[in-house]
Amino acid sequence: MAYEILKALSFGGITVADGGIAGKFLVPSSNEKPLHSKVELTSSSEKPAQKKCVVYVVSGVTTQNSVTKISSITQKVEEESIDSFLSEKGDNFSNDVKSACGGSKARSETDSNLNVYVYQQDQGQRNWIYSVGLQKDWLSDSNVTRDAAS
């Protein structure tokens, strides 16, 4: 029985000693300075500026060996006026232009605008044409006259 008491006291002493050692590492003493880390949360809710859609009416459209060229930009239609511009045009043409402005069809993209280039046929029914092959940065082409590009 004395042996069992000695065994219990030894085990209890070891447990207390282990707790003291663990406590030494987990609980800072009065002369230790606690570490503080500064956490800053930043908000990424700022959205980049929405690009506006601009429709440019061009003329002098020619295609040779799958290369399309234009001679001039004759009209600039700002985003606020696009619906009015499209109101008397055909449904397919209007849908193509709106899709290009919405990003699901080809268009020329700059830092601030989504540019869509269109033209009206010179002969026949004078249909309005949106063409994927016409969508490039004509504003930077020095061979293109800019009657209404400003």
Please say if the pLDDT value at position 38 is more than 90.
Answer: no
Question: What's the first-to-final CA gap in the chain, in angstroms?
Answer: 104
Confidence band of 149 (pLDDT split at 50, 70, 90): low
Please say if the pLDDT value at position 71 is more than 70.
Answer: yes
pLDDT of residue 104: 77
Q: Model-level pTM greater than 0.75? A: no
- The alpha carbon dihedral of 119, 51, 109, 111 has a sign of positive
- The alpha carbon dihedral of 77, 82, 84, 90 has a sign of positive
| Average pLDDT, integer, range 27-55 | 65
Confidence band of 122 (pLDDT split at 50, 70, 90): confident
Answer with the residue of higher pLDDT: 26 or 144: 144
